[in-house]
Structure 1
């Protein structure tokens, strides 16, 4: 069970005094009655912000699973991602298994806007495959094309690095907010970073 329950489990799930203790007690009673296990969140305390200069931070999102799941997959954990436009912190649930998983190639639409895109496609498609069977021939051509586009994209621009750097700064400022109020300049800087991230992602 994953989601925004809009409830806290303890007073420490809020960075400022307050909170309905009765609701916390009832929420914990339900969790206990269902016999579910909370998945640990690594790296952050709070997952929601009102995005003010002196922010209210709360833990409202929760991740639960069954005891049998944790027995079979004890390496399951939750890690925070970068808060981009939402007031909730997105998270990634990771399940460690021994099953081998190949690397996934994701085609980026912005590549088609590049002046040399069609030249790269033509080059990749025209590479020899040495396959006589029609099915294997077309499959090999797509593999060649994927390999060529992947290599070209790696040397094309620093877009992915720029996105990663902006996300890293936003994560740092988010963690900083858990320990103290950010200054006015830091708050403005964070707002500019959020706008920059949206632009880069677009």
Structure 2
């Protein structure tokens, strides 16, 4: 049994000046799987950097959230505002008297500030990425139905380049969590990326 793609007509393009579109990528399920996950929906992501449209299967099942533990993220070190945030946090006066209490309080304060700082930075990056992907997707869907002009083709290429330069916090975090030190920083040809 096939679950049809909700938001795209085609899942493949040859990416040429006179494009050819086809539905090559599909999602199939068994009847028992479909009976268990009745709210399943397949949506297509923007087709940036590939001739295939990535498909996402959402089963509609509830996700159980667990409390997040604090982790120092490697990508923080690459961000230009990180050192200032650390210095400001560390130089904040605390009321404790003993050195160990001062240190413990500053570590707690750093955790709190770093979490908030990280959330804001990630939100800015995700917002920029989401805006670019939406613009690309609009142009891409339009190109499925109509011939697009050179200006739109140029804009699509510009968006691809901009997306390639957006700092990839996800890649760095996956590398950090993988604990596989054989992976060369930036190597995308593996199961973690």
Q: Give yes or no for TM over 0.5.
A: yes
Q: For the aligned residues, what is the CA RMSD?
A: 3.3
Match of 1:199 in 2: 165
Partner of 2:19: 55
Pairing 1:153–2:118 present: yes
Deviation at 1:86, TM superposition (A): 1.3
Residues matched between the structures, number: 152
Secondary structure class of the residue paired with 2:26: strand
CA contact (8 A) 2:4 2:26 kept: no
Q: 1:109 to 1:166 in 2, by over 3 A?
A: farther
Instruction: Report matched runs for 1:28-67 at 5 Å.
Output: 37-67=1-31
5+ residue gaps, structure 1: 1-36, 125-140
Distance 1:103 1:198 in 2: 32
Show the counterpart of 1:182.
148
Secondary structure, aligned partner of 1:86? coil
Tell me the distance in 2 between the aligned counterparts of 1:199 and 1:188.
17
- Residue of structure 2 aligned with 1:96, choices 56, 60, 81: 60
CA distance in 1 between counterparts of 2:151 and 2:81 reads 41
Report the CA distance between 1:163 and its aligned residue.
Answer: 1.0
What is the aligned partner in structure 1 of residue 130 from structure 2? 164
